[in-house]
Each structure stands twice: as structure tokens, then as C-alpha cells.
Amino acid sequence: MLRNYPISAHLRFILEKIRPEMRQYFFEDEKHGLPFSRDKRAVVYQRAKNVLDKRPFGTQYDVYADGYEWMRHSIAPRPHAIAPFRVTIGGPDCASPYSASIFNISAMSFGALSPNAIRALNGGAKKGEFAHDTGEGGFSPYHREMGGDIIWEVGSGYFGCRTPDGQFCPEKFAQAAAADQIRMVELKLSQGAKPGHGGVLPAAKVSREIAQTRGVPMGKDCISPSHHSVFSTPIELVKFIGEMRRLSGGKPTGFKLCIGHPWEFLAICKAMLATRIYPDFIVIDGKEGGTGAAPLEFVDHLGMPLKDGLTFAHNALVGIGARDRIRIGASGKIASAFDIARAIALGADWCNSARGFMFALGCIQSQSCHTDRCPTGVTTQDRSRQRALVVPDKMQRVANFHASTMQSLIELTATAGLDHPGEFALDHFSRRVSASEVMTFKQLYPPLEPGELLRGTRDLRFAEAWEIASATSFRPLQIPGLNVRRQALSLG
Ligand SMILES: Cc1cc2nc3c(=O)[nH]c(=O)nc-3n(C[C@H](O)[C@H](O)[C@H](O)COP(=O)(O)O)c2cc1C
Ligand code: SF4
């Protein structure tokens, strides 16, 4: 190219090199930029700054395009509900249930995020009385500094509760989990952006503080294995959840995953029934969720998207008669009140947002989080870059974003003719499936009856996967006459 067409080759090179944050300003329209459209980012910035967040003139969506979704409103709106909207998490086996906001900060580790980002997120959570998930990188001094409610996430690296050779250490776990600030404990099985991948924090980024927080040596790559060493079967998994709850003194304990093989999730359900050990909560992360760094194939093509995973998990728990005792959290591109209402209709009790709160911190979606050169100080361990993030300002913005989103949810709830967002149901939402055809969410995601899996269901999404799910192995049972490959395909 350079030899034959020197001018166009240079031009092409320059255009390719335009960084994403610049490209988005020149070439994106308001609604279609990715992962988050300019409009979606703008509304977070406006709500975080407490400035005008209204839009003039009318929607920019093509409301006749396939996939367009809307909420049905009522002719008789209700009076505005009184926030804060909270949900109590903690089943009958939990000694200290937690009253959580229905909108919280999703898991992001110290290591992926800078110390100032952690401070500002946790300070915002404290001001707004919502929860902040540590991510798998441990409970750091920066989480402690501001005193906001913490959900402590434990991943396959067991950071903050590991032996020198990387195994789970019950004593260290119990000691750390006893902190009053830790309100819930979450075992991470996977996340939507890179399910089953694990992760590496390169040696160069393993600072003294990160090494201390995680309990790993400095000067060595810090590895999160792709799988847990403490359990290898569904029964062992639920027993481990029960053990974590016991060791934490009875705090609500659950797990987070992006659904892969449907029969594996159903195998965990069977293990709950077999052992009578139930998690207090399950967080369903959608394929569309974010990450600090992951291979392209994983980011683009692995894991079940949120709407499918969430309805699957919700219905599975309904189907085994355990939905009342297990709360469901949801994450995956949730950043507005509409997103929250829709997730609740699909089965969530509360929602988490990672990148929404990153925007509140000032993230400009330049997508260089993996390079340690974040221009806004959110995802860097470089001290000079971290200075871009002024903690008192940004912690207020985090709290503002949460409060304004809740205010918008109050208005949506009233408009739907409801008193509480927990009342959003499948028939409150519709989706256009062709130019002349609309389906309600109830038609798109038909609900199971309570206990239906136990009685034997004919629902194609569940019937065969339920048959082949085993409480004693994540591998599907080989049942003569059932074709596992066909089941996998029909279940998506
Ligand atoms: C920078 C960054 C770091 C993350 N680190 C973790 C992590 O340590 N543990 C985890 O379970 N999820 C992690 N996630 C995923 C989020 O918690 C969440 O599941 C997902 O991003 C939800 O999508 P959202 O960003 O669209 O809200 C991370 C996401 C981002 C953007
Ligand atoms: S966190 Fe920083 S590097 Fe990552 S997208 Fe936002 S501004 Fe860019």
C-alpha cells in the first residue's frame, strides 16, 4: 500500500489510528455507538453532574425496527413511590440479612481500577447508601477508607483468603469476612465478558498494595485460574457456599455467573435440592457485560446474553420451588431506570452496573483499560494518571448518578401504574419482532409454574436439560434416546 498508494496508505493509517474516544465523536450517531451509545453515556454524565438530563424534540430510535422495546404505561398512573427502593437479601439460613438498594456497583477489582476510583466508588456508595462489590481482587485499604457497604467477591484466585500456594484458606476467609463493612459474600464462577477464562495481572502491575491486598508475591504475574480448586461438582459447590456462609458468621452468601450450558445451572439447582443448601442470592451476568481485559473471542462470542440468562435462572428457581428464598441480581449494560425496570420484569430483584458507574467517575469509553494508560485515572496504576480522578468530586458524582437514576425509576414505576419497581412484570414490556408484529415479554419468555421442574415440564427450554442435569457432576448425564447436541442447540 505504502509503495503503490503512499497518500491513501498514510491516510488509512491515520484514520485507523484515531483512538476510539475520538472516533466516537466524529463517526457515531446518538443511539448506535458501542458498547455504550453517546446518548447513554451523556445521560450518565448529566445525572452524575446533576445537570439537565432531559431530551428535546422526540426519540431518535426507529420505533419500527426489529428489536425495538418499550414499556407499557397506564392510563391511571400512581402517585410517585417513596424511595429508597431496597430488597432484603438473606434466606432462612442467613443470620444477618442485608437490606440492599436495588441499584449497586458491580464487581470491579482493585488492580483493574485505580485506588482513587475505588475510593470514589465506595465514598459514593456510602453517601447514597448502596453497595459496592469488590471484584475478585480482594478487599483493599481503599475500600475500607470510606466505609461504604461492601459485597466481598471471592474468585478462583481466592485473593485475600488464600494459602501461599493459592488454595482457599478458611481461617483467613473467616477473619476477613468478619469486618462489619462486608455485608454479603459472593463466590465468582464467571463473568459475561470472559466466562471460563480466568485472568492475569502482569507482574509489572502487581504493586506492593495489590500484592498485600491479594496475598500474592510482588514481581510475579498474579493469576486467576479458569476454574475453582475448592469444588468440582455441583454438590461440592453448594456445600462450599454453605461453608462460606458459616465462616462469615451467617452473612448472605451467593454466587455470580454468566450462564453457559443450561444443564449446568440446573445441576446446581438439583444439588440445592439434594443437600438442602441454598445460596441467599445469585447474580446473573450477561454476555454483554464489561471487563478490564479479555480475548476478542471471549468478549464477542461466549456466554448467554442477560435477558436469556436472567429469565432462564429465574424460571429454573421458580421451577424447583426455591425462588422465594433466593434473590437474583442482574448485570450487563444496565445504566438507566428503563434497563433496571426491564431486568426486574425479567426476574431480577436488584441490578448492578459496572461501566455505568465508571462513566460517573469520568470514563470516556476510550477502551484502553488494559494498557494502564487510562486517560481519566479510572483503570490505571500509574500514579501520574490517577491524579486525573479527584476523589471528593467523583464520589459525589457516583452518589448523584445513583440518586437520579432512582428518581427516574420512581417516575417510570408510577407511569406504569405501579407502587414499587418490584411489581414490574413480563406483561409490562413489548418488543417489535418485525415491521408489523409485536410480542409481549410474556410471549417471548413464557414463565414456568412454581414447582414445574419437579413435576416434570414439557417446556422445551428446560425439559431435556433438566433430564440430563446431575447434582453430582457438571457433565450431562448420558440418557439413551436423548441427543445432547440437539438439546444444546435448541436451548441456545
Ligand atoms: C474494569 C472492569 C473490571 C471488572 N472486574 C470484575 C471482577 O473482578 N469480577 C467480576 O465478577 N466482574 C468484573 N467485571 C464485570 C462486572 O462486574 C459486570 O459483571 C459487568 O461489567 C456488567 O456489565 P456493565 O459493565 O455493563 O455494567 C469487571 C468489569 C469491568 C468493566
Ligand atoms: S476506564 Fe479509562 S481506559 Fe477504560 S474506557 Fe474508560 S477512560 Fe478509557
At 34 the pLDDT is: 74
349 ligand 1 Cβ < 6 A: no
Query: Residue 22 above 70 pLDDT?
Result: no
Q: What tens digit of pLDDT does each residue of 252-306 get?
A: 999 999 999 999 999 999 999 999 999 999 999 999 999 988 889 999 999 999 9
Q: What tens digit of pLDDT does each residue of 114-143 get?
A: 999 999 999 999 999 999 999 999 999 999
Q: What is the CB neighbour count within 10 angstroms for residue 72?
A: 13
At 492 the pLDDT is: 45
Q: What is the mean pLDDT of residues 60-84?
A: 93
CA 55/CA 421 separation, integer angstroms: 23
Closest among 121, 86, 128 to 106, alpha carbons compared: 121
Query: Residue 160 above 70 pLDDT?
Result: yes
On whether the CB atoms of residues 413 and 421 are closer than 8 A, the answer is yes
Question: Reduced to 3 DSSP states, what percent helix, strand and coil does the chain have, rounded to the nearest 5?
Answer: 40, 15, 45
Rg (the chain; Cα; Å): 23
135 ligand 1 Cβ < 6 A: yes
CA of 477 to the centre of ligand 1 (A): 33
Closest among 263, 270, 268, 351 to 307, alpha carbons compared: 351
CA 82/CA 68 separation, integer angstroms: 30
112 ligand 1 Cβ < 6 A: yes
Residue 379 CA: nearest ligand 1 atom is 1
Q: What is the CB neighbour count within 10 angstroms for residue 8?
A: 11
Give whole-number Cα distances, 84 to 289, 354, 355, 357, in Å: 26, 20, 22, 18
Closest among 376, 433, 473 to 45, alpha carbons compared: 376
Q: Which residues of 412-437 are buried (b: 16+ CB within 10 A; e: fewer)?
A: bbbbbebeebbbbbbebbbbbeeeee
Q: What tens digit of pLDDT does each residue of 304-330 get?
A: 999 999 999 999 999 999 999 999 999
Question: Amino acid letter at 6?
Answer: P
90 ligand 1 Cβ < 6 A: no
CA 170/CA 172 separation, integer angstroms: 6
Give whole-number Cα distances, 238 to 242, 268, 283, 463, in Å: 6, 7, 15, 23
Q: What is the mean pLDDT of residues 48-55?
A: 91
CA of 35 to the centre of ligand 2 (A): 12
CA 323/CA 191 separation, integer angstroms: 22
Query: Residue 104 above 90 pLDDT?
Result: yes
CA 406/CA 400 separation, integer angstroms: 10
Report domain extents, the chain.
86-428
CA 461/CA 477 separation, integer angstroms: 17
What percent of the chain lies above the pLDDT cut of 90?
A: 80
Question: Amino acid letter at 47?
Answer: R
On whether the CB atoms of residues 397 and 360 are closer than 8 A, the answer is yes
Average pLDDT, the chain: 92
CA 238/CA 254 separation, integer angstroms: 9
At 14 the pLDDT is: 63
Q: What is the mean pLDDT of residues 436-462?
A: 97
Q: What tens digit of pLDDT does each residue of 420-444 get?
A: 999 999 999 999 999 999 999 999 9
188 ligand 1 Cβ < 6 A: yes
The CATH architecture assigned to 86-428 reads Alpha-Beta Barrel (3.20)
Give whole-number Cα distances, 378 to 125, 275, 396, in Å: 16, 43, 15
Q: What tens digit of pLDDT does each residue of 187-216 get?
A: 999 999 999 888 888 787 788 999 999 999
358 ligand 2 Cβ < 6 A: yes
CA of 263 to the centre of ligand 2 (A): 36
Q: DSSP of 338-355, one letter per residue?
A: HHHHHHHHHT-SEEEESH
Query: Residue 227 above 80 pLDDT?
Result: yes
∠ CA 128-160-250 to the nearest 5 degrees? Answer: 65
DSSP 31: T
Cell, residue 468: 440430563
E-only strand ranges, 193-346: 199-201, 222-224, 253-257, 281-285, 327-331
